[in-house]
Chain A
Amino acid sequence: MSAVIEIRNLSKIYRDFWGRPKVKALNSLSLDVQQGEIFGLLGPNGSGKTTTLKCLLGLLFPTSGTATILGKPSHDVEKNERIGYLPEESYLYKFLTGDETLDFYGRLFKMSAAELKKRKEELLDLVKIKHARHRQLKEYSKGMTRRIGLAQALINDPDLILLDEPTSGLDPIANSQMKDLILDLKKQGKTVVMCSHLLADVQDVCDRIAILHQGDLKVLGNVQDLLQTKGESQLRTSELSEEALKEVQQVLAKHGVDLKEASHPTTTLEDLFLRTVMESEQRPGRRFEPGELPTGSVEQADSPTGATEGGSRKN
């Protein structure tokens, strides 16, 4: 496995017209993305995810540090032949129809007309926009625009795909299809980097994640490792009766329950995320290693979906 993206000490300060610093968006960020993995870039709003992607793509110039992508500096345009990018909002040409959009972007690549035509049909099928292909994008709904945006990102069959919040605006079905698509891309040996706020989805698809907070890298690692809780055990049983439930704390085996699985319990990504953010606020300037963050529920944080589904332990 080789690194497809190498970020070294990347800092970005947004300046105003007069060159005075306005916002420090990235603070000496270093990370690698390996060939063939799905990498999740997480963090609260304004933590620097989009900035990172833009620096990688040469849309922004880093204040210091370097970003190498597919072995090339970010300003190199030839590497873009193998890259697909879905921006955070679909910055497309609203006066073009869906069909024309794919034609336009496709022509920017070294691709024969026949190849482009074939690819276009496949993608229109994939993102299910065939019925609206002759309508101008200004008439598209948010989700439809998102879909056509995804199609244009994939028009060149890229090896590296950068998706900035790919599921925003998508309906649940499209959302689950998006997850399938990303896993499918991985199967084809492609590398995916995605930013997302839908932690359950990230947990489902990502191999590794990084959590940013106010431009600082807080957590970086393998999703499995990060969510594992050490020094504890987890049992999984078949259906328990009422009495069994009462007695289970005292004598588990006594009641003849099948022990299906005994492992380390995992927390949800959502849990991890919320804890990271809270800890970061209390203890700024620290980077957390896997397993270092305190386990347990997060009472302070509002968690609308409930943090219990994945089986977090309550003390």
Chain B
Amino acid sequence: MSFLYVLWQQLGYWFIVVGGAAGAFLLVGIVVSLLQHGSAAPAILGATLVRGVKDLLFMSAKRIAAIAKLTFVESYRRQVFAVGLVFLGVIMFGGWFFGDAKSDSIAPYVSTVVTPMWFVLVPMSLLVSCWGIPADVKERSIHTVVTKPVKRSEIVVGRMLGYSAIMTVIVVAVSLGNYLWLMGQVPEHLKDQMVARVPVYGELTFLDRQGMPSKVGINVGDPWEYRSYIEGQTQSRAIWRFSFLDLGTLKKMESIPLEHRFEAFRTVKGRIEVETRFQLTLINPTTKLRMTLPAMYSVREFVASGRERVLEVPQTLPLTVEVNKKTEWEDPDLQQRVDEEVERVLEELRKEEAAAAAAANRAPKEITRQDVKEVTVDVFVLDDLVDDTVENLGSALTVEIACVEPNQFIGVNPADLFVRLSDKSFTGNYVKAMVGIWLFVILLVILGTTSSCFVKGPVATLLCVGLIILGYHLTGHLETQRQLAEAQAVHGAGGPLEATYKLLTKSPELPNNFGTKVMSKIDGAAVSALNVAQLAVPDLTRFSTEATDRQLQLDISRGFDIPATHMIYRFIVVLSYFIPMVILGYFSLVLRELEHK
């Protein structure tokens, strides 16, 4: 997905959200105003709106800076930084305990420093941003500010900037401290894990024991069902379909790295050191060319995620073709190379036969294609096994895994096999993760400041905590709903209403009448509404630094590079909250008396 596309899509939704929110506020405003002012309401409302537009459009940078500075100095002098120091102390303390634990992975080291950041920075941002304006009102110091030529919009923006500045300093300090700690604490032999792997994931399907396609593998009774299993020495296979591979990058590499993290499951109580081996087959989905790699690989459960788990598929593989049999694959290009090889072999055979005939003084026998049993040609994995043509966009390569040990099982999950592009730097990825945390903190500051414009500190904090919880749980739910609705639409089932209708009437087609037209319109709207709702509540899991089922790649502690699309999403969420929240904060300050009650 291109940057611009993501930007465009998100901004589009965002305008709908802002427009909708503005409409809702306006409606509430009209109702309240009518109740309060009666017939004078339209004039008062109009004047307030005009004033609002003016105040929001023409703000003075100088005054905003003055208020931001005041805010910064206030937090600073109230020893907000001390909290940062305490935090660093906690980390050191944790690290001290941690020092004994033997780990063969850097993951615990990274999570020791990254996970507590959330627990400290989130409450801290709320503590800093939710209480300032209410205290300003309570102590009435705001009276000396609003009686100067200061617009309330400037107070909101200045406050947000000031809190953002102080939180920025804290995030920078803490992440720097953590980085230095990591560099110092991670043992030398684990340093090679400090990379940012760039995975390309595929879609996983299965073949069952009888070789029939199936969505899931065999369940071995694992209650979590994180992995599905394939059984050894049966037809059962795990099949990954990669939709797109960046050939330019891969061709520059010596071999094509496939990283795996399978799990073995033994039904016979074997010795643990017995290896569970598997075989890898690469398939071109279009030409059906199959190449089973000669080597057997074994499941490496007990190694860290270093290079031991990486299968290096060579750029070229030898393919032996039985000349006189019809091939399973259809690839003119490869066929030509095979034919050329056959010709070469024929040529050689003829020369040999000519020499033998001359020596024996007889007429040479005729050598035909029938005399060549098989030839071996080089298969260029990236050219012959990967289909990157436009017409087959979306299915570039298929990788099949077969377990070769009888009575043993290999457990797989979609993320258990991926093409590992050239690693990026750990430091760069760490910076991205920290920028992500920082953006989250800024988002909280924006939400906190705004809520503190209309409720007191404790309520504002609660409100924000509620939003965070929603952001973590609701969006995942919404996403599922949306995908469901979309899938139904794609597969001709129509939207939720249409699907229900079909289900109830048991008819595959909709009658073409007015009612059904309305129904599909409502369905369309429902899908859009879900899209919008998804943006209205930010998907906070996207800010996470830890892997979830949905977002594996966010786990920097396991050394995965954070994709650019996630960074864009984070930026856009923060940006898109900023403006509506300033407007909301502004009107909250304008419409209320700044008097402690």
Q: Which residues of A contact B (CB under 8 A)?
A: 16-17, 54, 57-61, 75, 77-81, 83, 85, 87, 89, 91-93, 95-96, 100, 104-105, 107-110, 136, 149, 152, 156
Contacts and interface: CB of A to CB of B under 8 A. Distances in A.
Interface in B544-597: 590, 593-595, 597
Interface stretch (B103-111, B144-152, B288-296, B401-409): B144-152
Given A59-B595, A104-B70, A85 B63 contact: no
Given A60-B593, A61-B593, A83 B70 contact: no
B237 to A, nearest CB: 68
Interface string B107-136: 000000000000000000000000000000
B77 A83 contact: no
Contact of A58 (B55, B65, B146): B146
26 contacts: A54-B595, A57-B143, A58-B146, A59-B143, A59-B595, A77-B55, A77-B151, A78-B149, A80-B149, A85-B144, A87-B143, A87-B144, A91-B142, A92-B144, A93-B141, A95-B74, A95-B77, A100-B73, A104-B69, A104-B70, A105-B148, A107-B66, A108-B66, A108-B145, A109-B148, A110-B149
A80 B144 CA distance: 11
B517 interface: no
A16 B597 CA distance: 8
Interface in B365-384: none
Range for the number of chain B residues in contact with chain A: 20 to 34
Contacts of A107: 62-63, 65-66
Contact of A108 (B63, B77, B142, B590): B63
B139 interface: yes
Given A57-B147, A95-B73, A107-B62, 19 more contacts: A59-B146, A59-B147, A60-B595, A75-B51, A75-B590, A77-B55, A80-B147, A85-B144, A85-B147, A87-B140, A87-B144, A91-B141, A95-B74, A104-B69, A105-B148, A107-B63, A108-B145, A108-B148, A152-B144
Contacts of A104: 66, 69-70
Given A60-B593, A60-B595, A95-B74, A108 B150 contact: yes
Contacts of B144: 85, 87, 91-92, 105, 149, 152
B78 interface: yes
Nearest to B145: A108
Contacts of B74: 93, 95
A81 B150 CA distance: 9
A66 to B, nearest CB: 12
Contacts of B148: 80, 105, 108-109, 156
Nearest to B65: A107
Contacts of B145: 108
Kindly list the 6 A-B residue pairs having the minimum CB-CB distance in the complex, ordered from nearest.
A107-B66, A91-B140, A108-B148, A95-B77, A80-B149, A85-B147
B135 to A, nearest CB: 10
Nearest to A55: B593
Contacts of A110: 149
Nearest to B142: A91
Nearest to B139: A91
A92 B12 CA distance: 44
Contacts of B597: 16-17
Contacts of A81: 149
Interface in B201-259: none
Interface in B469-506: none
B149 A109 contact: yes
Interface of B: 51, 55, 62-63, 65-66, 69-70, 73-74, 77-78, 139-151, 590, 593-595, 597
A16 to B, nearest CB: 8
A16 B596 CA distance: 11
A156 B66 CA distance: 16
A96 B66 CA distance: 13
B185 to A, nearest CB: 38
Contacts of A85: 143-144, 147
Contacts, number: 79
Task: Point out which of A16, A83, A107 has the most chain B C-beta atoms below 10 A from its C-beta.
Answer: A107
Nearest to A90: B144
Nearest to A81: B149
A105 B139 CA distance: 17
B141 A77 contact: no
A77 B595 contact: no
Nearest to B70: A104
Nearest to A95: B77
Nearest to A111: B62
B140 to A, nearest CB: 4
Contacts of B62: 107
Contacts of A54: 143, 595
Contacts of A89: 140
Contacts of A105: 144, 148
Contacts of B77: 95, 136
A83 B593 contact: no
Task: Point out which of B144, B151, B590, B594 has the most chain A C-beta atoms below 10 A from its C-beta.
Answer: B144
B149 A108 contact: yes
A110 B140 CA distance: 24
Nearest to A108: B148
B594 to A, nearest CB: 6
B149 A59 contact: no
A89 to B, nearest CB: 8
A107 B68 CA distance: 12
B589 to A, nearest CB: 12
A47 B523 CA distance: 63
A285 B143 CA distance: 32
Contacts of B146: 58-59, 77
A105 B77 CA distance: 19
Nearest to A87: B143
Contacts of B151: 77
A145 B182 CA distance: 49
A94 B404 CA distance: 76
A136 B150 CA distance: 24
Contacts of B147: 57-59, 80, 83, 85
A180 to B, nearest CB: 24
A93 B72 CA distance: 13
Contacts of A100: 73
A17 B143 CA distance: 21
Contacts of A87: 140, 143-144
A75 B63 CA distance: 18
A59 B594 contact: yes
A77 B150 contact: yes
Contacts of B141: 91-93
Contacts of A79: 149
B39 to A, nearest CB: 15
Nearest to B66: A107
A87 B150 CA distance: 17
A93 B70 contact: yes
B593 A59 contact: yes
A17 B596 CA distance: 11
A100 B76 CA distance: 14
A81 B594 CA distance: 20
A85 B73 CA distance: 24
A91 B143 contact: yes
B64 to A, nearest CB: 10
B82 to A, nearest CB: 15
A25 to B, nearest CB: 11
A90 B126 CA distance: 28
A82 B39 CA distance: 34
Contacts of A149: 144
Nearest to A83: B147
A81 B147 CA distance: 9
A75 B69 CA distance: 25
Contact of A96 (B51, B73, B150): B73
Contacts of B140: 87, 89, 91
Given A87-B140, A87-B143, A96 B149 contact: no
A75 B149 CA distance: 11
Contacts of B594: 59
